Amino acid sequence: MIFLIGCSIVIVVTIIAIVKSKKPLKTLLIEARYELLYNYVGSRAMLQDFFMRGKNKTELLLKSGNTALITGGTRGIGVEVIKMLMKCDVKVIIGCRNIQQAELLVANFRKEGIKTGSVDILNLDISVMESVKQFAGIVKEKYSEINYLINNAGIMFGPYIETRDGYESQFATNYLGHFLLTHLLLPLLEAGGKKEEKSRIVNVSSCAHIVGDINFEDINNRHNYIPGAAYAQSKMAQVLFTKYLDSLFKNEGLPIQTHCVHPGIVNTDLFNDTNLKKFVPVIPALLFKSPEQGAIPIIYACLSPKLEGKGGTYIHNCKIFKASSSTNSEELQKKLFDFTNKLLSIPDFIGKHEKNQIIAKE
Ligand SMILES: NC(=O)c1ccc[n+]([C@@H]2O[C@H](COP(=O)([O-])OP(=O)(O)OC[C@H]3O[C@@H](n4cnc5c(N)ncnc54)[C@H](OP(=O)(O)O)[C@@H]3O)[C@@H](O)[C@H]2O)c1
Ligand SMILES: *[C@@H]1O[C@H](CO)[C@@H](O)[C@H](O)[C@H]1NC(C)=O
Ligand SMILES: *[C@@H]1O[C@H](CO)[C@@H](O)[C@H](O)[C@H]1NC(C)=O
Ligand SMILES: CC(=O)N[C@H]1CO[C@H](CO)[C@@H](O)[C@@H]1O
């Protein structure tokens, strides 16, 4: 019954989207395919959220003295992640575009009675490589160690926009900027990691990676831009990276481990550009997870002792979950890694730390 209602909603939403659009038929057909794929993957993930709801819990362990850095976090899931980290007495560095909003949030947390934790708010536009370099430079001046790097900032769908550096904005925001940031902050992560308690990089990815494909010939998807395809590509790229990077850290013996997390299907502004939220907003309001519930698996990936030594994994509702099998291809992981290093002119991703410094200052 629920299944039938679900299918009808999906079909009706797809038809409305097609009728309302003014694009050529070929583009419309590909868009319709993505719309259906997303609805399928999304509904499946929602069912998983429901059946795994008992697993969606984490302890807020006291981690006094530890430092976390989160990108974004002024809206949506990140807000709740920051709040939980403060409850754990962690020093939180927030890299965001909207400083005032971040200050307001923290003031509210204090009013709500959270006395632990401290917060440092710094300006960062993750989609602009120059901003990432400046931000990383400031962080390196102020801090010597980071224990948790949470690559959270993200955008979904929307029209084709190119960033200042000439990249499609979802690719730049969700993937490239975080690639560069991760690279520049490696020395601090290395310093924060111990053999028995590694530092962690947590990438907020998405179940959407399942429908992703890396379009090396046209990485911006400039020709025939399909928002859903570009989002899925950016999220698949994150999963490929998480896996590749973890094996790199293991080979180099660095005390850092990596995870990617699907937070669940969470009702945030991220869905503003989806047909579902435009035409039937009652569904997200009723059926999606709350931002607080979405933050739980991220905190789990940062803190849970159960994950010690289990890097390179994909977390879904606080369980290690299988990512799509296409992300297991070491060949594809390496191809994308080399491709991205070249794109960003990074000579040696792990390399000598002096080199990192040079790039950061350029
Ligand atoms: N919601 C879900 O169901 C879902 C599912 C799977 C994965 N995710 C992932 O979860 C993460 C968080 O999403 P959300 O649902 O919390 O979305 P959201 O409510 O739209 O929040 C996105 C956050 O990213 C920030 N951001 C966007 N572009 C930025 C930029 N160029 N520089 C700096 N910050 C930027 C936004 O800050 P501003 O206020 O400055 O725009 C905002 O704080 C994303 O990576 C998303 O892909 C979400
Ligand atoms: C997270 O994703 C970024 C790209 O979005 C990548 O550069 C980085 O290496 C990834 N981190 C981990 C731990 O996989
Ligand atoms: C998303 O939509 C809501 C409700 O219409 C609005 O209040 C909010 O500002 C929008 N957020 C973004 C990022 O566009
Ligand atoms: C679907 C979902 O999010 N389920 C649970 C996740 O964890 C929180 C807190 O433990 C519960 O309140 C949710 O019901």
The more confidently predicted of residues 325 and 83 is 83
Q: Ligand 1 within 6 A of 268 CB?
A: yes
The ligand whose atoms approach the alpha carbon of 278 most closely is 3
pLDDT at 3 over 70: no
* pLDDT 10s digits, 211-245: 788 999 999 998 888 888 998 999 889 889 988 99
With a 6 A CB cut-off, is 285 part of the ligand 3 pocket? no
The separation between CA 343 and the C-alpha centre of its own chain, rounded to angstroms, equals 20
pTM recorded for the entire structure: 0.89
- Cβ neighbors of 6 (< 8 A, separation 6 or more) are 43
Among protein residues, the one with the nearest Cα to ligand 4's atom 1 is 53
CA 309–ligand 4 middle distance (angstroms): 26
Residue 355 has pLDDT above 80, yes or no: no
> Does ligand 1 have an atom closer than 6 angstroms to the CB of 297?
no
Report the nearest-CA residue for atom 14 of ligand 4: 53
Give the best-scoring range by mean pLDDT among 29-33, 92-96, 216-220: 92-96
So what's the pLDDT on residue 228?
87
Strand order of the sheet with strand 256-262?
118-123, 91-96, 67-71, 148-151, 199-204, 256-262, 313-316, 319-321
Q: Give me the pLDDT at residue 1, please.
A: 62
The model's confidence at residue 358, banded by pLDDT at 50, 70 and 90, is very low
Positions annotated as catalytic residues are 231
Q: Which residues pair with 69 in a beta bridge?
A: 93, 149
pLDDT in tens, 101-156: 999 999 999 999 999 999 999 999 999 999 999 999 999 999 999 999 999 999 98
Q: Which atom of ligand 2 is nearest to the CA of 340?
A: 7
Q: How far is the CA of 355 from the centre of ligand 1 (A)?
A: 30
Strand partners, 149: 69, 201
Q: What is the pLDDT of residues 192-216, one digit of tens each?
A: 999 899 999 998 887 778 778 899 9
Task: Say how far apart CA 23 and CA 274 lie, in whole Å.
Answer: 17
Pairwise CA distance, residues 209 & 323, whole Å = 8
CA nearest neighbour of 204 among 233, 171, 242: 242
244 lines ligand 2 (CB under 6 A): no
Place of tokens 């070491």: 330
Q: Which protein residue has the closest C-alpha to ligand 4 atom 5? A: 53
Q: Is 203 in the pocket of ligand 1 (CB under 6 A)?
A: no
Cβ-count burial 283-300 (b if 16+ within 10 Å, e if not): bbeeebbebebbbbbbbb
Q: pLDDT-derived band of residue 72, with 50, 70 and 90 as boundaries?
A: very high
Cα 246 to Cα 229: distance, rounded to the nearest angstrom: 26
The full set of domains in the chain, from first to last, is 2-358 (3.40.50.720)
Q: Could you tell me the pLDDT band of residue 184, with boundaries at 50, 70 and 90?
A: very high
